[in-house]
Amino acid sequence: MSIAESGPWWRGAVIYQIYPRSFADGSGDGIGDIAGIRAHLDHLSGLGVDAVWLSPWFPSPMADAGYDVSDFRDIDPLFGTLSDAEAMIAEAHERGIRVIVDIVPNHCSDQHPWFQAALAAGPGSPERELFWFRPGRGPNGDEMPTDWRGEFGGTTWTRTTNPDGTPGDWYLHLFTAEQPDFNWDHPKVRAEFESILRFWFDRGVDGIRIDSAALLIKDPTLPEVDAAPLHPFHDLDPVHDVYRSWRRIADEYPGERALIGEVWMPDAQRFTNYLRPDELHAAFNFDFLGCAWDPELLRACIDRTLEAHALVGAPATWVLSNHDVTRAVTRYGRTDTTFSFATKREGTPTDLQLGYQRARAAALLCLALPGGAYIYQGEELGLWEVEDIPPGMRTDPMYPRSGFVDPGRDGCRVPLPWSGVESPFGFSPAGSTAPWLPQPADWKDRTVQTQTGDPHSMLELYREALRIRRDAAALGDGGMRWLSSADGVLAFARDPRFVCVANLSTATADLPDHEEVWLASGPLDGDRLPADTTAWLRTS
Ligand code: TEU
């Protein structure tokens, strides 16, 4: 199979997120790498995904696990070389799998040559105009220019020392101090990223995931968040000009190169502004990701999503998790099944068995809805959030920046279990350094090896669902209509001859009329659907 040159594949693609540090380690240093990815591409083709999105693999001091990039045109030696990356892209393409890279335009690493040059050049220099350097407030300039709160908590300005050793200006960083924000009002920043896009498109990548896509533009008057009618850095209208120019570049290349935005936005209309026909192709549906396992809330979220996307003709996406959020098995086992960054839930009790059953049901719901779907590595194995990582082993900067209140995101980034009965579970070759985060001993029951061939496993559920999805004309891009159903049951039809029914009530429910049960997330009760179970039906 090869990558077809035609058709808007991104409208209905199933995209698998690879978190390179934690996917598979080929070199034996306990950290995942490109060699590991290349060795496991057959897992991905066997799973049946259409594309992979790789979290950043660029050179980075790893202050934020690679989201602090020091060179956007190379590969970090931890992961391999640029030619390894090119080989990986070619090998994925040979298997019919498209490749999406993760570009971080809001900021770079404080070790990026541009930022180092800006520090060295001093106040008032053209080098500093590429970032947000400002004098401090107060008589000695020792108060931050604004009181903006960071995206990880904590402050957003760090004071510099002048080349002559005196205390100097401050620079803006919406994330950690090691991630200075670019000044997107500067044409050099715009030209640089246009060139970076071409660099990766020239290497054959099929799409770009755009990190923190709504944050690029800042109000240069730097008002406080509540002091101006518009937010000073979130979703300012000129950001759309950036994506219009990126779209023109993507459209210059053959084979439908896709731009996919990481846009966290409660307002559906503001969200879909990013998906107008001359902007991004798709964006992650975080409204769905954060939604409770609740029939009415989910129905409302699905309706809201489809309505807003229809206005701009863009495909919806369905996302249960990613490398920033609590794994679905854990979240769905809690009393409060929502996700939000603002709610810290360390130590909240969870019923993993219930969460697992619901995660199975949620997977079939997601994969049946119209549009594209994302699978975060390990979701197909039913992995849970690892909540007992010893504090000393946690690496996520969110943890210290929250004053050690938020455990951070390490718990969803634990290296995958591939085979065997003890850590590293085939993640690294035998005799390697231990994985960079400890794996739970119970993951012996969650390896790819143990789940393969077990018809009741999460892995086989995903494989079967994706096999059906590839063959069934009704699935992927298209429309749907709700069917009438009992309280707490979501049932919808898609043409031709497909019905999905998800029982989110506490009682067993009748199945709608059907010819055949194609797939179910759990055992049926005769011809009835138990609670927390989804079925795919073939209808006449
Ligand atoms: O995440 C961005 C992100 O999660 C925030 O913009 C979000 O809105 C905020 O945390 C809510 O309070 C991306 C990456 O996915 C993440 O891994 C990186 O750490 C981050 O950008 C910085 O590059």
CATH classification of the domain holding 123: 3.90.400.10
Question: CB of 397 within 8 A of CB of 64?
Answer: yes
Nearest CA to ligand 1 atom 10: 151
Which atom belonging to ligand 1 lies closest to the Cα atom of 64?
19
Query: Is there an atom of ligand 1 within 6 Å of 418 CB?
Result: no
Q: Which two tokens stand for residue 220?
A: 């240069």
Mean pLDDT of the chain: 96
Judge whether 423 lies within some domain. Answer: no
Which atom belonging to ligand 1 lies closest to the Cα atom of 409?
17
pLDDT value, residue 351: 98
Query: Is there an atom of ligand 1 within 6 Å of 286 CB?
Result: no
pLDDT > 80? residue 423:
yes
Helices (H), ranges, 122-175: none
Are 103 and 144 in the same domain? no
Cα(152) to ligand 1 centroid in Å equals 8
Other CB atoms within a 10 A radius of the CB of residue 182 amount to 25
Cα(401) to ligand 1 centroid in Å equals 14
Q: How far apart are CA 514 and CA 534, in angstroms?
A: 14
Q: Which two tokens stand for residue 303?
A: 């309706």
Query: Is there an atom of ligand 1 within 6 Å of 178 CB?
Result: no
pLDDT > 90? residue 344:
no
Spatial neighbors of 381 by CB under 8 A, at least 6 apart, are 416, 417, 446, 447, 448, 451, 458, 459
pLDDT > 70? residue 5:
no
User: How many domains does one find in the chain?
Assistant: 3
* SS3 of residue 468 by DSSP: helix
Judge whether 397 lies within some domain. Answer: no
Other CB atoms within a 10 A radius of the CB of residue 340 amount to 12
Nearest CA to ligand 1 atom 8: 264
Are 79 and 226 in the same domain? yes
Judge whether 127 lies within some domain. Answer: yes
Judge whether 1 lies within some domain. Answer: no
Find, among 49, 471, 534, the residue nearest to 298 by Cα: 534
Query: Is there an atom of ligand 1 within 6 Å of 64 CB?
Result: yes
Q: How far apart are CA 162 and CA 168, in angstroms?
A: 5
Mutate to test the pocket of ligand 1, among 67, 286, 321 (most ligand atoms within 8 A of CB): 67
Are 126 and 255 in the same domain? no
Are 327 and 343 in the same domain? yes
Other CB atoms within a 10 A radius of the CB of residue 418 amount to 20
pLDDT > 90? residue 282:
yes
Are 102 and 129 in the same domain? no
Are 20 and 61 in the same domain? yes
Query: Is there an atom of ligand 1 within 6 Å of 324 CB?
Result: yes
3-state helix, strand, coil in the chain (%, to 5): 30, 15, 55
Are 247 and 306 in the same domain? yes
Tell me the percentage of the chain whose pLDDT exceeds 70. 99
pLDDT > 90? residue 347:
no
What would the pLDDT profile of 471-523 be if each residue is shown by its tens digit? 999 999 999 999 999 999 999 999 999 999 999 999 999 999 999 999 999 99
Cα(150) to ligand 1 centroid in Å equals 10
Q: Which two tokens stand for residue 31?
A: 């950290």
Are 208 and 346 in the same domain? yes
Judge whether 458 lies within some domain. Answer: no
Spatial neighbors of 18 by CB under 8 A, at least 6 apart, are 37, 52, 53, 54, 55, 377
What would the pLDDT profile of 100-139 be if each residue is shown by its tens digit? 999 999 999 999 999 999 999 999 999 999 999 999 999 9
Judge whether 410 lies within some domain. Answer: no
Query: Is there an atom of ligand 1 within 6 Å of 341 CB?
Result: yes
Which atom belonging to ligand 1 lies closest to the Cα atom of 67?
23
Instruction: Give the CATH number of the domain where residue 509 resides.
Output: 2.60.40.1180
Q: Taking residues 173-184, report their average pLDDT.
A: 98
pLDDT value, residue 345: 79
Which atom belonging to ligand 1 lies closest to the Cα atom of 175?
22
Judge whether 430 lies within some domain. Answer: no
Q: Taking residues 36-50, report their average pLDDT.
A: 98
Cα(67) to ligand 1 centroid in Å equals 9
pLDDT > 70? residue 385:
yes
Note down the domain range covering 333.
9-108+187-388+438-451
What would the pLDDT profile of 200-209 be if each residue is shown by its tens digit? 999 999 999 9
pLDDT value, residue 3: 66
Instruction: Give the CATH number of the domain where residue 298 resides.
Output: 3.20.20.80
Mutate to test the pocket of ligand 1, among 211, 260, 271 (most ligand atoms within 8 A of CB): 211
Query: Is there an atom of ligand 1 within 6 Å of 212 CB?
Result: yes
* Sheet arrangement for strand 481-482: 481-482, 489-494, 498-503, 533-538, 516-520
Query: Is there an atom of ligand 1 within 6 Å of 199 CB?
Result: no
The burial class, CB within 10 Å (0-12 / 13-18 / 19+), for 52 is buried
Mutate to test the pocket of ligand 1, among 175, 178, 265, 325 (most ligand atoms within 8 A of CB): 175
Query: Is there an atom of ligand 1 within 6 Å of 102 CB?
Result: no
Which atom belonging to ligand 1 lies closest to the Cα atom of 322?
15
Nearest CA to ligand 1 atom 16: 324
Are 121 and 101 in the same domain? no
Are 104 and 137 in the same domain? no
Cα(151) to ligand 1 centroid in Å equals 7
Cα(301) to ligand 1 centroid in Å equals 22
Are 259 and 302 in the same domain? yes
Q: Kindly list the catalytic residues.
A: 211, 252
Nearest CA to ligand 1 atom 1: 212
The backbone torsions φ and ψ at residue 510, rounded to the nearest 5 degrees and listed phi first, read: -75, 145
Judge whether 378 lies within some domain. Answer: yes
Are 42 and 158 in the same domain? no
Nearest CA to ligand 1 atom 12: 151
